[in-house]
Structure 1
């Protein structure tokens, strides 16, 4: 078979034409489509990367906020626990103070009640003792006892403090001079004793006095001098009554 150079050249020419046609009408469009596809893929990858980065930022923000919320919650819990402990301590203190006040009031009430019971018992004992002493004095009193009490009365008039004497004089200042002092005794007084009493009263009051003497057996022993509301003297009855009236004050102290 003989090689034809013309045919060979034509075949070569046809090959280059085919390559040019393929490149012109097939390879370039395919490359263009591939390039567009690659650009689209790159754009989508970039968008996906951006979204992933944004998602990561959002996740980081969420985790930061979650950690901050947990920290705030823990701080709030601790503050609440501390506040509850403080409120509990305050209420326990108030309760303890209230219980202490109630205990103190109870002790005070019990003390007052016991003191009142003790005072009542002591007062009853005082009254019984006063009555017993009165019975003894009634049985043992006599002219000799009265004479001793009269002596004590005369001595008290002679030794009366000046302030007390001036007070008595002021009380009798508006009393008429002719008015009589009432002198009561448990037993009859002889003339000498009456004169001593009048003289002692005159010296004490600094003015002449007239006395009207009476007998009052209920005095038991002693003497009582009076004019209106003014009363003085030394006698068993008044001393016992004074003792009985003094008893409540003494017991209360």
Structure 2
């Protein structure tokens, strides 16, 4: 039995995109949001036990908000699943038709030539998948996700090994060196304060921290010190995905 490597590669790409999107932007934020809301409700209920009527009002309010969130989450997930299914089917069908036509026109072409043609189609299919992924991530980009990515960036920063901070301290001794924080959306003053505090906590003497916006990041941030970068944004994730795909293809 002959394996259609193009279809197989496309299925893997779509699966990885779906897994990455669900893990990074659906399951983890949903679980974190529900955990924070549950903690907030429990705290409010504990403080309001003296007044039964107030406790019931808070409980009703929480239940209503949770129901609205679950409904919105269900709609968003259903829409995303439907779009992925339709696009995957369309690409598979189009690719199958294209390959069938090419095989009919090139029945007499030698094995090496045929491999080159199929490889060109694989590259084209990969490019289409990357463009589709970029379009989906662009639609998902929002200040709400940006705020969550700020939290994740600070977690990644705090998790760097001490050896890495030693290198950064050495780099920071260079004249004019400073931390540049680039974000897709304008950061709130509180977010800027948290980032500056996190940098100052690990790099002494403190370095200047500047902030700028770059919509090409789509959503997320990039923390830079000279040639060193700590990336957590859609654009760099897509670039890494494309580089990995090209590496596998080569």
Q: TM-score, normalised by structure 1?
A: 0.49
Q: TM-score, normalised by structure 2?
A: 0.49
Larger Rg: 1
